[in-house]
Structure formats: structure tokens, C-alpha cells
Amino acid sequence: MSAILDGRVGDAAIEEPNYDGEFDAVVVGAGLAGSAAALTMADRGLEVLLIERGSSPGAKNVFGGVLYTPTIRELVDLEDAPLERYVAEKRFSMLSHDDETALSISPGEWRREPHNDSYTVLRGEFDEWFAEQAVDAGATLVTETTVTGLLREGREVVGVETDRPDGGVEAPYVVLAEGANSLVGEGANLKATESRENVAVAAKEVLEFPNGENVIEDRFRLFGDAGVSYHYFGEGAVGEAFGGGFIYTNGDTVSVGVAYRLEDAAANDQSPEETLNLFKSHPRVAPLLRDARTVEYSAKTIPEGGAESVPDLAHDGAVIVGDAAGLVLNNGVHLEGTNMAVESGYHAGRVIADANARGRTDADALEAYGRALEESFVVKNLERYAWLQETVEEDRELLFETMPTAFADAGAEYFRMDREPKAEHASRAKRAVVDALGGWRGLAKLALRYRKVVT
């Protein structure tokens, strides 16, 4: 044998690598929740193994939208983060098949630092960067590795099994941050399989504008790093389904997509691709996307069961965070998940570090994570809107089909140019809304039912 490699320290044959018990915690999935947990634990001196099934963190992530950063800002220096644009305008728009009635909000405050902690991001880039921050803090990242199950001793979770040979690795704590399609957590009976009424399917395209400079700035009326978040409801957005459409501006691209209940996709035989194409070709949407070229297409599921669907968060040796824990808020006005993912990852990481210091791995010790979440905005917000999903489902035809048309008709009447007096137009406009929504009585009931969305 050659002297060059004789007895070298780095010799893999001598080392017989075995990392069982080398890590304090294994995090399953390097998305926002997983990386936030890994970073928080690494910052507190724990040895963390972060396992990601994609070729890089974010490679499997399909979310395209707004990242809310109040907690991330505490964890990392956002200066270097790959943020696309800050959100300077939110626009809520009701679409019938050919009408639009919209409300736009653009407070001056949003144009100033810290921009209401709302930025558009491309998750392929952001997640990779965020996981890098966890690695810089000392976490070990392993990619292209799928966790297939949990290792247990009795009830206690003592590690994970992966799809690789020699693929089990033991560690006292496991953080399940595997996303909405949580096969590991479900397989291990740590959470129930979500029913399809509570799951949304989302399809998204990233579009670029190959012709011309400043197309995004000009079309969406923006300066510098300002961006928009447009939300669309009604049958013009997602047909007969319960959901909505969206447009977000990135640096040089826009993310356009639809999200609606899996139940509707199945029952109405409404494919995400067709639905997205219909939305993109709506007369009020198409001009925004004219001459755009698709650079990426993707689809995902979103848990929308709200507070009731949140599983037990703490188990012996394991916790569940982010989408896997159903921590997504979608009430029509607020569409949030990223902030909850980070918040849950942060609290989980913090609680595990505390429990580790006390040598505890039992569910009782990790319950503190669930309690922290309950006291945080995450669960409070979910509970606040728990009633909404069902109510909207009951009123669905009214809200998504009748109302968009009624408001558009009212607008058309109110501003009609003919030779009749304005009083006549105003009364017809009023009637268009009042009649469609069940008379004054119906209108009052409706207002009462939904007042809690905004008050």
C-alpha cells in the first residue's frame, strides 16, 4: 500500500462512520419550519441533523408568495436574504366571469422599513439560504434523503429511518417538519390523515417577461423594490370551487396561481392546470400577464383545516411543526402560513433545547412547545377564524358566484351614463346588491355572519 494514504486520519475505512447518538435532534424537512427549528437549536449549542429529500432545500417547495418576517428577523440577518420585493400594495378583487370589483390597500407605512415584515420570495432560493443559516450556526444538512419512518422504543420516538442503505439514525429528539403531505407523521400515528375537505390544492406558475425593461414596475405601478400581492375571489378566479387566485410580484418574475379545495377538484373534476389557465385568461387578469413566458410550473397541497385540525404537537421524543401541524391560516383576507411555520419551528427548537438541558425527552416536557404556540398569535389566529370555513361553505354560491356579479352590476348601474337621473341609477345599484343577497334582512344577516373576518 502506498505511503501517501497510510494511516491517514481521514480514512473512511478506519472511521467506520456511525452517527447514532451523535446528534441531539433530527429535523425532518428543510423548509421554513424545519430550518427555523434547526437554527434555533444549533444557536443553543445542540447538534442538529437536518434531513431534506430534495436536491437542495426549497427544491421541493412550491409555495410562491409572501413571507412574513417578524420572527425570522429575530433569528437571522435579513440583509443578505434573497427577498424579492416588499409588499407595498394588497389588492382584494372579486371576479365574476367577466367583471371585477376590487379594493386596494397601500399604506405609506408599508413603503418604509421594515415594510410591515411582508416580502415576496421564491422559496427555492429563500429556503436554500435559510437552511444555510442553520448550517452556519452548526447544523448538519443532508439532502436527497427521504425520511420514511420513525424509530421507536415503546412509545418513545428515538430516531428516523430513511430511504438510504444503513439508513436509520438515532437521536433523542425528532422534529417533524415534513410539510402538508405528512406521510411520516401519519404513518407513525402522530397525526390523523387530513380529510379532503380540509386540504386545498394549489397550482402556481412563475412567469417572466422576455420583452422589454421594467414590465413589472410599469404594469403593477411600482418603484424600486416595491411589490404587490393581489388576491382574487369568485367564479372568475377558481370557477365553482371554494378558493381563490393570486398574483405576487417577484424581482424579475411574477408568481400566478390558484388554490382551492381538493374536495372541489375531485367532485367538479376541475384540474389545477385548467383552473389556473382559466384564471390567467380572465379579461381583468390576462392584460397583467400579456407576453409573459412560463419558467416554472408546480402544484402542492395546503392544509386548511384550521385550529380543529391541528394534531397533538408534542409526543415522546418528537414534535410536529409548520404545515405538517396544519398551521396555515386562510380566511380570505389573511393568507398566512410562512410566519406560523417559522414561529412554530422557533418555539419547538427553544423548548427542545430547554428539555435537553434538563435531560427530558417525554411529551410532558415538550408540551411547553404546544403551550407556547397556544399563547402566540399562531393558535390564537387559527381559533379566531375557526368558524369561517364552515360558514363560507354554507354560503358558497352566494359568496363566490352571486356576490361578485351583484357588486359588478351595482357598479355598472351606479356609474351608468345615459339620460336618466342619477337617483334612478343609485336605486337600481342598491337593488342589484340587496336583491341578490336576500333583501335587507339577508344583507344584515350576512354582515353579522362575517363581521369577525375584519373586526
Partner 1 sequence: MTWTIVVGVKQVPDDDEIGIDPDTGRLDRASAPAVMNPPDRDALEAALSIADEVDARVVAMTMGPPMATPVLEEAVAMGCDDAVLITDRAFAGSDTWPTSLTLARAAEALDADVVVCGEETTDSSTGQVPPGIAAHNGWAQLTYVEELEPDPEGGRLIATRDVEGGHERVAAELPVVVAVAYGEFEARPAGLHRKIYAENDFEPAQLTAEELGIADEVGLAVSPTAVGGMETVEPVERRGEVVDDVDGLVEPIRGVET
Residue numbers of the site for partner 1 (CB under 8 A)?
Answer: 1-2, 4-5, 8, 10-13, 15, 17-19, 49, 140, 142, 145, 162-169, 210, 293
* Nearest distance in Å: CB 10, partner 1: 5
Question: In Å, how far are 63, 72, 86, 314, 357 from 82, measured between CA atoms?
Answer: 15, 13, 12, 32, 34
| Residue among 407, 394, 367 at smallest CA distance from 103 | 407
For partner 1, the closer of residues 70 and 167 by Cβ is 167
* Nearest distance in Å: CB 309, partner 1: 32
Q: Tell the residue number behind the cell numbers 384564471, with chain if given.
A: 279
* Nearest distance in Å: CB 164, partner 1: 4
For partner 1, the closer of residues 171 and 388 by Cβ is 171
Q: Tell the residue number behind the cell numbers 337621473, with chain if given.
A: 421
* Cα–Cα distance measured from residue 261 to residue 244, given in angstroms and rounded to the nearest whole number: 10
For partner 1, the closer of residues 17 and 108 by Cβ is 17
* Cα–Cα distance measured from residue 432 to residue 380, given in angstroms and rounded to the nearest whole number: 37
* Nearest distance in Å: CB 19, partner 1: 5
Question: In Å, how far are 28, 162, 324, 351, 363 from 369, measured between CA atoms?
Answer: 17, 26, 15, 6, 10
For partner 1, the closer of residues 168 and 442 by Cβ is 168
For partner 1, the closer of residues 51 and 340 by Cβ is 51
* Nearest distance in Å: CB 218, partner 1: 20
Contact call for residues 37 and 29 (beta carbons, < 8 A): no
For partner 1, the closer of residues 11 and 153 by Cβ is 11
| Cα 421–Cα 93–Cα 343 angle in degrees, nearest 5 | 150
* Nearest distance in Å: CB 59, partner 1: 11
For partner 1, the closer of residues 158 and 406 by Cβ is 158
Which stretches of 281-387 are DSSP H helices? Answer: 338-357, 363-375, 377-384
* Nearest distance in Å: CB 150, partner 1: 15
For partner 1, the closer of residues 142 and 453 by Cβ is 142
> Which secondary structure element, helix H or strand E, spans residue 433, and what is its range?
helix 422-436
What is the sign, positive or negative, of the torsion defined by CA atoms of 81, 83, 87, 93? negative
For partner 1, the closer of residues 140 and 391 by Cβ is 140
* Nearest distance in Å: CB 84, partner 1: 19
| Residue among 31, 29, 26, 36 at smallest CA distance from 134 | 36
* Nearest distance in Å: CB 132, partner 1: 14
For partner 1, the closer of residues 20 and 390 by Cβ is 20
* Nearest distance in Å: CB 47, partner 1: 11
Q: Tell the residue number behind the cell numbers 384540474, with chain if given.
A: 271
- Bridging pattern class, strands 83-95 and 226-233: parallel
* Nearest distance in Å: CB 165, partner 1: 4
What DSSP string runs through 157-183?
A: EEEEEESSTT-EEE-SEEEE---SS-H
* Cα–Cα distance measured from residue 134 to residue 260, given in angstroms and rounded to the nearest whole number: 33
Burial of residue 360 (number of CB atoms within 10 Å: 0-12, 13-18, 19+):
middle
Burial of residue 223 (number of CB atoms within 10 Å: 0-12, 13-18, 19+):
exposed
* Cα–Cα distance measured from residue 360 to residue 351, given in angstroms and rounded to the nearest whole number: 11
For partner 1, the closer of residues 78 and 142 by Cβ is 142
* Nearest distance in Å: CB 30, partner 1: 14
Phi-psi category of 356—alpha, beta or left, where left has phi over 0 and alpha has psi -120 to 50?
alpha
Q: Does a cis peptide bond (omega within 30 degrees of 0) precede residue 114? A: yes
For partner 1, the closer of residues 153 and 163 by Cβ is 163
